[in-house]
């Protein structure tokens, strides 16, 4: 058995209060937990004996260079590294959009953002079948647990899931159902008492572990989406590194919790981002431990990735959703199957490839019109990048006018309306202003420009042919909630 790195030890701070609170709520909560588990079994279509389980874990705003298994040293991620040693590492994976809603809807439909249309105020096209719908029709129990408020079922993310749970959709203590008093004591502090911020990582970890432990007579598809290390940066204190002075500075920053981070805060914000990555990695040890204890590594396809990355003033900005630079689009991609040895694949892939990869692996028919490819098909090919291996991305939080195409080793970014403005980035260079080509080779630029323009026209034509999108009004309360997460000024 693997010795997964356990979470950082806790102090005994206010444990007596925690025990008292736990004794009051634990009886009622356990009862609710049993009722909830019973509800999740409703909706059986048919048995599917012998089919593999499917688990997708996405980590919000996780930069590809902030996991340590490829050799990066910004932060150590020992538990993700240990999982990577069992899995296939895709070293060149990109998102198809620089922010969560279109990126994750693309992952679940294998369609580009302009086609599905999902946005803050737009429900993604109901004409497109989702990964969860396909798997549920093929006998899977389908469940999703998401910690980012923007992944709203009203936008279409809950389609096909028999159980779809967001952090804010349930009483925040319900995640304690079936937990031991010890777990209540050690996790309550992280969950509720960090500078007045509700911590989503302990909740998601526990509810995911409970789902993985549940006895089932059908295979499962579970999608879990971690919110950290997304803004605001509020990691528990024990994950903040540095001397006493730097910790006090970080705690003061957290206490004021700025969402719109300006350059003078870079020296504080970037290390805090690393602390949040460590925080998530620490809790993933529990998930990996359950997968091992329940023998789920023997019959489960597991994908770990991210919806997008995060700019750390690499090009003058902190955050995501407004640019198509490498630090925002590049994401980790780890794929584990019980029947394939660990390895590495250097072919470019993207989140649009997740759905066809899973469907082919579990033995169901591909969905008509999907734009992705089976990532497993690239495993035995020579590491020579063919011209047709491209990654196309669309949109910003503001609109769909920004588009980009990635063919190793360059990203060509197109902004605005015709006449367009173009920018070419060399991903082999250090991330920052120095990776922008001031005077790219004309033939090279024209090749990329034509590819990008052709893809944009094709995507626009497809978007015209697909309906089923619906406007969803954005309430003032919802707008304020999104503003607090840094989405609006």
Q: Write out pLDDT tens, residues 262-281.
A: 899 999 999 999 999 999 99
206, containing H or E segment: helix 200-213
Q: Write out pLDDT tens, residues 304-322.
A: 999 999 999 999 999 999 9
Domain count, the chain: 1
| For the chain, the helix, strand and coil percentages under 3-state DSSP, each to the nearest 5 | 40, 15, 45
Q: What does the pLDDT read at residue 29?
A: 41
With left for phi above 0 and alpha for psi between -120 and 50, is residue 16 left, alpha or beta?
alpha
Q: What does the pLDDT read at residue 58?
A: 98
Predicted confidence band of residue 45 (pLDDT cuts 50, 70, 90):
very low
Q: What does the pLDDT read at residue 479?
A: 82
Q: Write out pLDDT tens, residues 204-219.
A: 999 999 999 999 999 9
Q: Is 64 a domain residue? A: yes
Tokens of 488: 């609006």
Q: Is 461 a domain residue? A: no
SS3 426: strand
Q: What does the pLDDT read at residue 406?
A: 96
With left for phi above 0 and alpha for psi between -120 and 50, is residue 61 left, alpha or beta?
left
Q: What does the pLDDT read at residue 167?
A: 87
Q: What does the pLDDT read at residue 388?
A: 61
CA distances from 66 to 63, 96, 264, 392 (A): 5, 19, 22, 23
Rounded to whole angstroms, the Cα distance separating 171 from 29 reads 10
Q: Is 215 a domain residue? A: yes
Which residue, among 185, 8, 176, has the nearest Cα to 79 in the 3D structure? Answer: 8
Range name among 121-130, 251-260, 289-298 with the lowest pLDDT average = 251-260
Q: What does the pLDDT read at residue 74?
A: 85
In this model, does residue 15 exceed pLDDT 60? no
In this model, does residue 336 exceed pLDDT 80? yes
Q: What is the pTM of this model?
A: 0.88
449 Cβ neighbours under 8 A, 6+ residues apart: 412, 414, 422
Q: Is 244 a domain residue? A: yes
Contact 335, 357 (CB under 8 A): yes
Pairing, β 93-94 against β 470-471: unpaired
In this model, does residue 324 exceed pLDDT 70? yes
E strands of 279-434, at which residues? 300-305, 311-312, 318-319, 330-331, 333-336, 343-345, 349-350, 391-394, 403-407, 410-415, 421-426
In this model, does residue 10 exceed pLDDT 70? no
Q: Is 430 a domain residue? A: no
Q: Is 165 a domain residue? A: yes
Q: What is the CATH number of the domain that holds 200?
A: 3.40.720.10
In this model, does residue 416 exceed pLDDT 50? yes
Q: Is 439 a domain residue? A: no
Q: Is 460 a domain residue? A: no
**Structural domain span for residue 132:** 15-388
Convert 244-265 into a string of H (helix), E (strand) and C (coil).
Answer: HHHHHHHHHHHHHCCCCCCHHH
């Amino acid at each position: 058995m693997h010795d997964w790195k356990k979470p950082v030890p806790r102090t005994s701070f206010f444990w007596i209060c925690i025990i008292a609170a736990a004794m009051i709520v634990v009886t009622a909560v356990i009862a609710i937990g049993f009722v909830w588990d019973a509800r999740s079994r409703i909706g059986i279509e048919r048995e599917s004996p012998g089919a593999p389980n499917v688990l997708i874990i996405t980590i919000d705003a996780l930069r590809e260079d902030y996991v340590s298994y490829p050799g990066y040293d910004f932060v150590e991620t020992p538990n993700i590294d240990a999982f990577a040693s069992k899995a296939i590492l895709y070293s060149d994976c990109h998102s198809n959009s620089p922010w969560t809603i279109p990126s994750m809807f693309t992952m679940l439909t294998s369609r580009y953002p302009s086609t599905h249309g999902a946005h803050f105020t737009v429900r993604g096209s109901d004409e497109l079948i989702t990964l969860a719908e396909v798997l549920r029709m093929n006998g899977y129990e389908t469940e999703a647990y998401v910690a980012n408020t923007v992944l709203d079922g009203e936008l279409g993310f809950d389609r096909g899931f028999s159980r779809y749970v967001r952090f804010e959709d349930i009483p925040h203590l319900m995640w304690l159902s079936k937990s031991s008093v010890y777990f209540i004591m050690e996790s309550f502090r992280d969950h509720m008492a960090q500078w007045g911020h509700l911590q989503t990582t302990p909740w998601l970890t526990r509810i995911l572990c409970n789902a993985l432990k549940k006895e089932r007579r059908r295979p499962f598809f579970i999608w879990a989406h971690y919110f950290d290390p997304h803004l605001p940066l509020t990691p528990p204190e024990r994950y903040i590194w540095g001397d006493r002075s730097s910790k006090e500075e970080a705690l003061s920053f957290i206490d004021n919790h700025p969402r719109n981070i300006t350059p003078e805060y870079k020296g504080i914000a970037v290390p805090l981002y690393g602390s949040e990555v460590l925080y998530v990695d620490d809790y993933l040890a529990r998930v990996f431990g359950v997968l091992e204890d329940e023998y789920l590594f023997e019959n489960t396809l597991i994908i770990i990735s991210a919806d997008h990355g995060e700019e750390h003033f690499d090009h003058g900005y902190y955050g995501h959703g407004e640019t198509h630079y490498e630090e925002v689009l590049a994401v980790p991609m780890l794929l584990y199957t019980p029947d394939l040895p660990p390895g590495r694949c250097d072919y470019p892939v993207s989140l649009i490839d997740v759905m066809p990869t899973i469907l082919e692996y579990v033995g169901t028919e591909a969905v008509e019109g999907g734009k992705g490819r089976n990532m497993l098909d690239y495993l035995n090919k020579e590491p020579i990048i063919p011209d047709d291996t491209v990654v196309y991305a669309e949109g910003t939080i503001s609109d769909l006018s920004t588009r980009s195409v990635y063919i190793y080793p360059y990203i060509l970014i197109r902004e605005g309306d015709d006449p367009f403005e173009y920018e070419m980035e060399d991903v082999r260079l250090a991330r920052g202003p120095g990776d922008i080509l001031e005077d790219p080779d004309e033939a090279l630029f024209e090749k990329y420009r034509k590819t990008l323009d052709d893809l944009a026209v094709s995507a626009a034509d497809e978007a015209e042919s697909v309906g089923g999108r619906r406007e969803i009004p954005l309430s003032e309360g919802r707008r304020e909630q999104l503003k607090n997460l840094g989405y609006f000024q």
